[in-house]
Amino acid sequence: MIIYTVWLKRKNTSNIVIGGIAGSAAAWAGWSAATGSMDLLGFLVGFLVFVWTPSHFWCLAMKIKDEYAQANVPMLPVVIGMQRTSKFILGNTIILIPYSLILSFIPDGMGIVYTAIAIVSGVLMLVYHYKLTKNPTSEFAWKAYKVTAPYLTIIFVAVALDAAFHFPLF
């Protein structure tokens, strides 16, 4: 993420990466309200929003690239093109999947329910984002976006299910 942010900042396209922190703050507030505290797991769950945001929003930006270009908004697909943006999306997703699984391997972390759901939903995103690199069109970006959109909801439902039916990995 840091490499992305430094490189993108030079191109004035880092708004999506930076904006992911706002989503994390909402998750952190929710975790604090639900548990009465903020621990490492709560921080990492909230930070998952930050890691997920680029893959999610860059798919949408690819879908509406022409509108951004007409408005002179320097979104990533406008600045570097559809093919390179699709590779950034795939790269970000390759970071997202192991990050989401780290939550299962920290002390008092997520259990089997969360881990299974995170693996299945992460692999689905990975497949679509790999296909996007082979077909970096507005139409396929929209299909990929429709996979990334429910991902975060599914992950947070998995967190809740894991809290209700916690079966530790170890």
Q: What is the mean pLDDT of residues 85-95?
A: 97
Domain spans of the chain, in order of start: 2-164
For 24-69, how does the pLDDT look when each residue is reduced to its tens digit (9 = 90+)? 999 999 999 999 999 999 999 999 999 999 999 999 999 999 999 9
For 100-136, how does the pLDDT look when each residue is reduced to its tens digit (9 = 90+)? 999 999 999 999 999 999 999 999 999 999 999 999 9
What does the pLDDT read at residue 17? Answer: 77
Q: Inform me whether the pLDDT recorded for 169 exceeds 50.
A: yes
DSSP state of 107: T
Q: In 106-133, which positions are buried (b, 16+ CB within 10 angstroms) versus exposed (e)?
A: eeebbbebbbebbeebbeebbebbeebb
Q: Structure tokens of 169?
A: 């990995």
What does the pLDDT read at residue 3? Answer: 53
For 10-20, how does the pLDDT look when each residue is reduced to its tens digit (9 = 90+)? 556 677 877 88
Q: What is the 3-state secondary structure (H, E, C) of 92-143?
A: HHHHHHHHHHHCCCCCCCCCHHHHHHHHHHHHHHHHHHHHHHHCCCHHHHHH
